[in-house]
Amino acid sequence: MKQVFKRPESMTSKPFHFCPGCHHGIVHRLVAEALDHFSLREKTIGVASVGCSVFLYDYFAVDVIEAPHGRAAAVATGTKRVLSDHIVFTYQGDGDLAAIGTAEVIHAANRGDNITIIFVNNSIYGMTGGQMAPTTLLGQRSTTSPYGRDYRRDGYPIKMTEMLAALEGPSLVSRVAVNTPANVKKARKVIRQAFQMQVEGKGFSFVEVLSTCPTNWGVTPQAANDRIAEEMIPYFPLGTLKQKDVIDVL
């Protein structure tokens, strides 16, 4: 019988530790599929961040460096500059990338470093028990905003994709979601494009993936998927904001 569905070679067989309904597992798979597509497994270095995706090295059959909280983009830049024939990607949550790691990602993007960043935005600090993140929506309850995020005290949810797309440096900046089969298909395509950019030496690629955290949102997996469509996408619209076709010539 023909096998039509199997584990990507770039993934190990270790079962995920993620909670039921968490999108981290889907995003892991899409990244592994992209690595398989371009036969990159042997030459890829992942940079893990701090958060629920911290065990990246358990699930990817590639070399992985563990970066201190927020420093993944800087670690990836250094790694790529030393091992320029390798493919280097980071995988970061919104607490990691948009709070403690804001400076690192902005400067890597502005330099147009030839790395790929996968940014998983679940609008909360997942691993540490549901504190407010820079991406937490207005009115969203968290352990540190028990009455809901209020812009007068907490500011507005930060739109990293729009911020980075405003810079000259990046080559691909896009926001996707994986809450429906149709959105998974679109996300697969964009994540693949992001790695293709790096393979072709075209510079910095950044994909934000809107993601669930049913555990800290306090909802069922199905309701979490619905929340992506009803609350997150209206504030964080999907789409590719920037895509360069050619390398800039100085």
Ligand X SMILES: Cc1ncc(C[n+]2csc(CCOP(=O)(O)OP(=O)(O)O)c2C)c(N)n1
For the CB of residue 143, give the shortest distance to ligand X in the complex, in Å.
12
Does 144 engage in binding with ligand X (CB under 6 A)?
no
Does 214 engage in binding with ligand X (CB under 6 A)?
no
Yes or no: say if 123 and 137 are a contact pair by the CB < 8 Å rule.
Answer: yes
Q: Which of residues 38-67 bind ligand X (CB under 6 A)?
A: 50-53
E strands along the chain, which residues?
44-48, 63-66, 87-93, 116-121, 172-177, 205-210, 239-243
At residue 74, the 3 state secondary structure works out as helix
For ligand SF4, which is the closer residue by CB, 25 or 148?
Answer: 25
For the CB of residue 37, give the shortest distance to ligand SF4 in the complex, in Å.
26
Write down the residue that tokens 């790694």 correspond to: 79
Yes or no: say if 70 and 93 are a contact pair by the CB < 8 Å rule.
Answer: no
Q: Which stretch binds ligand X (CB under 6 A): 6-14, 117-125, 147-155, 164-172?
A: 117-125
For the CB of residue 131, give the shortest distance to ligand X in the complex, in Å.
7
Q: What are the residues whose beta carbons fall under 8 Å from the beta carbon of 97, sequence distance 6 or more?
A: 49, 70, 72, 73, 105, 117, 119, 160
Does 69 engage in binding with ligand X (CB under 6 A)?
yes
Q: What are the residues whose beta carbons fall under 8 Å from the beta carbon of 56, sequence distance 6 or more?
A: 28, 46, 48, 64, 91
Does 214 engage in binding with ligand SF4 (CB under 6 A)?
yes
For ligand X, which is the closer residue by CB, 53 or 142?
Answer: 53
Query: How many C-beta atoms lie closer than 10 Å to residue 106's C-beta?
Result: 16
Does 178 engage in binding with ligand X (CB under 6 A)?
no
CA 188 to chain centre: 12
From ligand SF4, ligand X, none, interface partner of 50 (C-beta below 5 to 8 A by class): ligand X
For the CB of residue 155, give the shortest distance to ligand X in the complex, in Å.
17
For the CB of residue 211, give the shortest distance to ligand X in the complex, in Å.
8
Residue 226, CA distances (Å) to 28, 32, 239 in order: 21, 26, 19
Q: Which of 65, 100, 106, 127 binds ligand SF4 (CB under 6 A)?
A: 127
What is the contact surface with ligand SF4 in residues (CB under 6 A)?
Answer: 18-19, 22, 24, 52, 122, 126-127, 213-216
